[in-house]
Structure 1
Amino acid sequence: MTAQKVGIDAGGSLIKIAFQERDVMHYKKYPIGELESAFSWLKAVAPNVMAALTGGKAHIVQEKFFPNGTIVPEFQATCEGVRLFLLEEGKKTPDPYIIVNVGTGTSWHLVDGESYERILGSGVGGGTFMGLGTILTNESGFQHLTEMAVKGQKENLDLLVKDIYESDEPPINGDLTAANFAKGLNVKHSGADRMAALTNMIAETIMLLTVQAAAIHQVKQIVFIGSSLIGNPFLTESLETYMKMLGLQSMFLKNGEYCGAVGALLSI
């Protein structure tokens, strides 16, 4: 590694690292529990690297590994990273637009020209997926839980609108959720069904908050980023479906989980 600058996003669950080498951007990520090995590697291959840090654990990383590193406000880093990725992917968004960052929790940012502000936050996100998913299934591992969700049937646990109306014609889409997990132990279901229902509940929560924020700020374009969306097809497809249903345009960035790290890197 010959890079002299590095951007680091030290979040609640993952450490994301971005650095440029020979005009090519490289990305690495590590579980927060592997912090020591992540930065021992970085300091070994690039002992004099300049670091810009962001995220909830940025000060801890700075104090322990990069005392001369700079701290970049998390929301600034996120929005600047999104701008760069939108440009690189050739995607145009009319101002204003909303960034939905699905990490350990979920944050909403309003971007209007050069200005941006955090407008909303929720504790429902990737941490919910991992924590409650493990409790509900006695299984662990992000990839494993996402694979279970894809195989499950949420309707085996969720009470749908058509379940309430039975033979009558429902006034809204019958496949919409009337009550999450309402069927409980009354019906037979699997661990995969629980993960599907949980993922759907997370998607619905994010959708409901997003549509309210979009209405308040008169926005139609939503940009989704965050590590909890990567390799999680059930969640991303559910969000995309709900956004389309509500008349909102959704966009998922290819390397959206690294927006914070890239935004920090841009500050050097």
Structure 2
Amino acid sequence: MQQITAGIDAGGSLIKIVYQEKGRMHFKKFSINKLDSAISWLKTVAPSLKVSLAGGKAMAIQNKYFQDSILIPEFQATCDGARFLLAKENISIEENYLIVNIGTGTSWHVVNGDKAERILGSGMGGGTFTGLGSLLTQVQDYQLLTILAEEGNKGKVDMLVKDIYETAASPINGELTAANFAKGKKLNHTEADRLASLSNMIAETIVLLTSQAAAIHHVKSVVIIGTSIIGNPSLKRGLEFYLNMLGLSTVFLEKGEYCGAIGAYLSV
């Protein structure tokens, strides 16, 4: 029986699996609450496995399911996976660059050639969108929340620069946010508007931290990965708009949510 190699990235919300069979790389993800089902599925499709693990729950999975597996530091796996995808997509970044991994929270890494260093972390991320979004609305499902955010108007909840200047000439773009959720006491906004405001606040916060990190480390290119931008056009559009406005080149990697699992796979 042919042995199949698999990389598993087990984070706070999702378990992501990458394996190769007959020369083709396969990708699969499950809610972390369905861990038993995920492992059962993997063992069914690949009875003979060699496994490498990354992520916060990697050791727990190793102890329970794969005692002979290899543990890879999460940040190393993430950056190795991002490099692999950049090469696969024929994207060349000559100078140093940032990797911004937006998962449950967000991590920043600066990449210099073969070296990568985690430089920053924030609790602002997909977990914020799901958790706070469910408090602001009657919706619990992440995908439904993203759909609502896309339909909403942040200007009905956020105070914009143009709201302050009104008829006067604004020194900056009037559509920019002056204060997040500052119109929250007003009643003429919907659940969708509140989610649009939330998505915008998360994007703005991540961009502000990214711009500061870019200035400190003298980089002009940002590679954005992570599960929280998948199927979330409102967040992705906000990130791209603000980063480009600040003069930072932005790359969104296809399959970027699997960087950790890919990096684990590559280490076997």
Pairwise TM-score range, normalised by the shorter structure: over 0.9
Whether the 8 Å contact between 1:98 and 1:222 is mirrored in structure 2 is yes
For the residues of structure 2 that align with 1:263 and 1:102, how far apart are their CA atoms? 16
Instruction: Report the residue type matching 1:5 in the other structure.
Output: T
User: TM-score, length-normalised on structure 1?
Assistant: 0.98
Report matched runs for 1:1-268 at 5 Å: 4-268=4-268
For the residues of structure 1 that align with 2:28 and 2:2, how far apart are their CA atoms? 15
SS of match in other structure, 2:148: helix
Whether the 8 Å contact between 1:94 and 1:221 is mirrored in structure 2 is no
SS of match in other structure, 2:185: helix
SS of match in other structure, 1:99: strand
Deviations 1:110-163 (A, max 9, x none): 000010100000000000010000010020111100000000000000000110
Which structure 1 segments of 5+ residues have no match? none
Change (3 A) 1:233 1:164: same
Instruction: Report the residue type matching 1:99 in the other structure.
Output: I
Report the alpha carbon displacement of residue 47 of structure 1 after superposing the two structures with TM.
3.1
Report the alpha carbon displacement of residue 95 of structure 1 after superposing the two structures with TM.
2.4
How much is the aligned-residue C-alpha RMSD, in angstroms?
A: 1.1
Whether the 8 Å contact between 2:151 and 2:192 is mirrored in structure 1 is yes
For the residues of structure 2 that align with 1:94 and 1:247, how far apart are their CA atoms? 17
Whether the 8 Å contact between 1:222 and 1:249 is mirrored in structure 2 is yes
Instruction: Report the residue type matching 1:44 in the other structure.
Output: T
SS of match in other structure, 2:9: strand
For the residues of structure 1 that align with 2:138 and 2:2, how far apart are their CA atoms? 43
For the residues of structure 1 that align with 2:109 and 2:95, how far apart are their CA atoms? 13
Whether the 8 Å contact between 1:52 and 1:265 is mirrored in structure 2 is yes
Report the alpha carbon displacement of residue 2 of structure 1 after superposing the two structures with TM.
5.8
Deviations 1:141-199 (A, max 9, x none): 11100000000000000000110111111111111000000001224100000110000
Using the aligned pairs only, state the percent identity.
59
User: TM-score, length-normalised on structure 2?
Assistant: 0.98
For the residues of structure 2 that align with 1:186 and 1:38, how far apart are their CA atoms? 45
Moved over 6 A (4+): none
Whether the 8 Å contact between 1:3 and 1:21 is mirrored in structure 2 is no
Report the alpha carbon displacement of residue 93 of structure 1 after superposing the two structures with TM.
1.0
